[in-house]
Amino acid sequence: MFDGQLLRTFVAVSECGGFTRAAEQLNMSQSAVSVHIRRLEEQVGVPLLQRTTRKVALTAEGETLVGYARTITSLQEEARSRLSPRSRLNGKLRIGTSEDFAAAALPIVLRSFNLRNPGVALEVQVGITTDLVNLLDRGRLDLVLGKQCDPLHSDRGELLWHEELVWAYSAHTRLNVDRPIPLAFFPEPCAYRDAALKALSKSKSRWRIAFVSPSIAGVRAAAISGFAATPLTRSMIDSQLRIISAREGLPQLPQVRFVMFRGREGGQPNRMIQLLASAIKEQANSSRFVQPGSMLSVMSS
């Protein structure tokens, strides 16, 4: 029978793509993670991971085991949570989130929270940060995960992390700088769009709006195909995209703040908000919600 702790470490290495991030997520040393994987491979009798200088990948046997490992560890966690006094927490939590979070690691956090608190019903609404915060202020949401680009309005919300906003374009297509550059944006209101237009207004760039989509998948597709450039966070850049440099005619963009807004105070709902907020901050501190290239892999899975 496989050791549950070893399986949890194996799942973490698989999901994080390496020993360093898995160690951060599990709050363990990297050497301890290596020991766990070695012990599990000894139990199984075959290598589970292929290690290179740049990344860690699953072997064929590792691919087979990781599915069982997720099921076993989930059942263990569910059984533990149902026997815990915390499982007596009951109620409903209404969460608003921008697509950046919803398409990345948030579902993993919510699933883990549900396993630990089976009496709490979670409802998730994906939308634009401005609209979601308005719903929060009207008492229709309990917690919001969103983004900010304007430093003048960054005093509200708890900062989870920040990263650079960049111009993304096809990695295999030359940008024609002799004509106005076609751009892809989200509809208004959008923090990325507002930040990009503000930067463009202060530059000498020649540009035009050529593509508008309400989803990250849409603007990414426009950029990957070489149809239009679009503002994305650096973590969304993968092998299909490249960052447009300033000498190609587009201005530098600001930092993006990924923030969490909490709702009403007092009573049991606040206790549930605190628990979920702690889980979200723990994930953000350990490995961030969006890793390089992870957005595409999640959306295509």
Tell whether 203 and 247 lie within a shared domain: yes
Residues whose CB is less than 8 angstroms from the CB of residue 290 and which lie 6 or more positions away in sequence, other chains included: 100, 104, 105, 233, 235, 236
Decide which of 82, 108, 132 is a domain's last residue.
82
**Which of 43-51's residues contact partners 24+ apart within 8 Å by CB, and which partners?**
43/2, 43/3, 43/6, 44/2, 48/10, 49/13
CATH of the domain at 37: 1.10.10.10
**Domain count of the fold of the chain:** 3
Domain region containing 292: 90-144+260-300
- Stretch 286-293: mean pLDDT, rounded? 51
Residue 179 in any domain: the answer is yes
CA distance 127 to 131: 7
Tell whether 35 and 63 lie within a shared domain: yes
Tell whether 130 and 267 lie within a shared domain: yes
78 compared with 181, residue with greater pLDDT = 181
Tell whether 104 and 181 lie within a shared domain: no
What pLDDT digit, counting tens, does each position of 89-128 carry? 678 889 999 887 766 678 878 888 888 888 888 999 998 8
Tell whether 56 and 188 lie within a shared domain: no
Tell whether 61 and 199 lie within a shared domain: no
177 compared with 38, residue with greater pLDDT = 38
Pull the structure tokens for residue 240.
Answer: 């299909």
Residue 291: is its pLDDT beyond 70? Answer: no
CATH of the domain at 247: 3.40.190.10
Residue 237 in any domain: the answer is yes
User: Helix 4-16 and helix 30-44: axis angle, to 10°?
Assistant: 110
Residue with tokens 């990924």: 258
Residue 154 in any domain: the answer is no
What pLDDT digit, counting tens, does each position of 22-78 carry? 887 787 888 888 899 999 988 888 999 887 666 788 888 888 898 888 888 877 776
